[in-house]
Chain A
């Protein structure tokens, strides 16, 4: 019970019968967790490489926070295994308690200890060091996040941004092998959020921290992470770089996650794709028949008269250098919304066409 964490070792050193060359920092394999009869996570597998930042993106209730709690050891999985640096911390044969896992966790509400000063909060995880060392490390961490001079303050006197930075310093002080961040910017107002996010990212990159960021904000995931794991209803939908996720999503849901799409019905036949916006060569292999087509805004172009499908301009709204235009096209359920140069469209009607790139084809059966 009084076991102290050993000072964080360098990446995998070959303990516990694991090859020293194991390049994976954190391996989540086939993990499931249910609360009563409600499944929170179903058969999720993910890996995190040293120095990598992975974002777990999903709506509230998709199981992303449960995933963090399982990795931290605050809960135990019903099935599956979790390895950190090749060492099994959860799975068959019991679960290692959170205090010896070497995982850092930043909470959404920061969870600063209200009865301790800022310095004591940051020192909290440095119990294995001598008092002098612990103080030095804590002060160094506080300076790193720009809070030198606030050591003796109590959490209640801090602003939201300051509290977030104390929480970061506290989580980083023991040099965790993996840092978990649970929606760490969602309690900040919009202006502060941008700056704090950039600062946090800078600190993580500078120290080469391996981290998992949980968020429901796609822009945050794109900005922050090397790869994004998209989750929905306890299942992992897709895990890849932002660009891959944008260009080659596995489903219409994944397509919508990182950017606007217009979904239309289409027919694939003989290597060609017919949509209400025109017929083009089939961009990816699909069996002949009815398909769902997701169109990125850049796939839709305004073309010269006589070359495309006619549409009726419903509304035009000013958006700085460009304008947003709602266009009704026969055969579409809802008007298209396009952004175009201010003077691109003058009349009440336009003709639209498709260009390659940004056209995503899914089987009809794929759920929305």
Chain B
């Protein structure tokens, strides 16, 4: 083994240890956690939290499947004026984090907010007491909000599958006399099952990860309880125990997803069939189709985003932008940028590891890199506490031993946040880089090897330069996710540091909504970047398709 190779192995082993640290530390916490807390949690906190979480996930699951497959079918099987626009617009809610949409709606639907005021004027009512709408701050309200923001996770893969595979199959079904409804339920739905399950799984992960929307709307989910137990009750072991319960839930969710896919993989890439011969709609049917399709866009994006623009504008006209906004934006960009750099570097190492270390250890490392993304942010943060404290102590004793100063990297410093961001979003960078590397014809690295370059040299001279666009797009996606991130930021940020998301959370928690609108708008604008990227990828794929058809 050459020294370089040894170094590589050491680095990979260390990275694997860091990747596994949160899970291991939770397991340790559970193993020797004090029994004194558990009865209290089991009796008063967990039953209600588990019930609410379960109901929330079930409700969101049903809603995203309905909205996601319905809209995907609408844009794949029918042709009507505005279809192309709708096709793209349906992705827009991806730009709005769950806590932002909850924040916007709470203000929008406030008794003194524009909607209720407008309704009262319309009905000739004076007092807010005369008009009683169902309160948004409830479990059903939370389900509705999350469902309308998270359905694109189902829409995106399902639509891709319809575009890719459906053409011939659906035509055949129609030739055999099956009407549109029958075709949808008997052919399209079973066909799209792997895509639907995959998308639903992602949407539920997001719902489970959510801490803002649930708390604003008064739903005491497990995530909220972890946060509350930690921050409000200063009870770390308790938080760890709830987090462990959630981790079990995530494992269950993943197992359920595997089961529901029935061993079938989801073929997300590859050759498209002929484009589906869409059924042409006209007149009132076309109007209905467009209206139906635009409803989730309006509710999941249009209304909240429009409201944020309006509220920011009002604020601008009134007292000007909040002075703290620039500092928050700067903090957001600062931590997200540093973590993105680390993530890209780690992502390169992990994605290239099958080429450098051999296939088996490489794919193990790649799987380990996905752990952080599978864990809800609060769980990851709790799991990181013990390892970070250990690191702090270790460094402190090192400092005592002779350095004379203590390099603080752990809790309460930016380093903790950067580490947590990296662990949580590493898989995005790894996935993008992997895809970029996989697209390189295998003869190119082979040629480099024969021309005298080692594995590492080949990686540097050929593979990374060719995969660079994919690496960059992965970096961009990771950056945006970090900038939008709430739960981890809330728990691990350095003292007195506010990012856009934590500021928004604070305003909402205090009930002073007006001040948060500008921050929320900035977050939504950031969130639009990956949506634009997705749309461009989609457009790039289309012409290539028509050429290969010719």
Contacts and interface: CB of A to CB of B under 8 A. Distances in A.
B435 interface: no
A125 B452 contact: yes
B455 A1 contact: yes
Interface string B66-102: 0000000000000000000000000000000000000
A74 B453 CA distance: 12
Given A98-B449, A111-B444, A1 B466 contact: no
Contact of A109 (B441, B461, B462, B466): B441
A2 B460 CA distance: 12
A103 interface: yes
B461 A124 contact: yes
Contacts of B319: none
B454 A1 contact: yes
A247 interface: no
A1 B452 contact: no
Interface residues of A, number: 30
B443 interface: yes
A195 interface: no
Contacts of B538: none
A171 to B, nearest CB: 8
A124 B448 contact: yes
Contact of B444 (A5, A74, A113): A113
Interface in A110-141: 111, 113-115, 124-125, 127-128
Given A115-B465, A115-B466, A1 B456 contact: yes
Interface string A84-117: 0000000000000111110111011101011100
Contacts of A55: none
A3 interface: yes
Contact of A174 (B448, B451, B455, B466): B451
B36 interface: no
Interface residues of B, number: 22
Interface in B455-473: 455-457, 461-462, 465-466
Contact of B446 (A4, A5, A74): A74
B452 A2 contact: no
A124 B445 CA distance: 12
B550 interface: no
B497 to A, nearest CB: 41
A359 to B, nearest CB: 45
A239 B461 CA distance: 39
B450 A109 contact: no
Contacts of B456: 1-2
A170 interface: yes
Looking at chain A's contact residues, is the secondary structure mostly helix, strand, loop, or mixed? loop
Interface in B3-35: 4-5
A111 B441 contact: yes
B2 interface: yes
A72 interface: yes
B292 interface: no
A2 B451 contact: no
B454 A111 contact: no
Contact of B4 (A2, A74, A113, A171): A2
Interface in A3-44: 3-5
B446 A105 contact: yes
Contact of A99 (B441, B443, B452): B452
Nearest to B457: A2
B464 to A, nearest CB: 10
Contact of B454 (A3, A72, A113): A3
Contact of B447 (A5, A100, A113): A113
A124 B449 contact: no
A127 B461 CA distance: 12
Contacts of B466: 113-115
A107 B465 CA distance: 21
A104 B450 contact: yes
Contacts of A99: 449-454, 457
Given A111-B441, A113-B462, A124-B461, A74 B450 contact: yes
A125 B447 CA distance: 10
Nearest to B462: A113
Interface of A: 1-5, 72-74, 97-101, 103-105, 107-109, 111, 113-115, 124-125, 127-128, 170-171, 174
Which 7 pairs show the lowest CB-CB distances between chains A and B? Answer: A125-B451, A111-B443, A111-B447, A1-B4, A98-B449, A1-B454, A105-B450
14 contacts: A1-B5, A1-B454, A2-B457, A73-B449, A98-B446, A99-B449, A100-B452, A104-B450, A105-B446, A109-B441, A109-B443, A113-B462, A115-B465, A124-B453
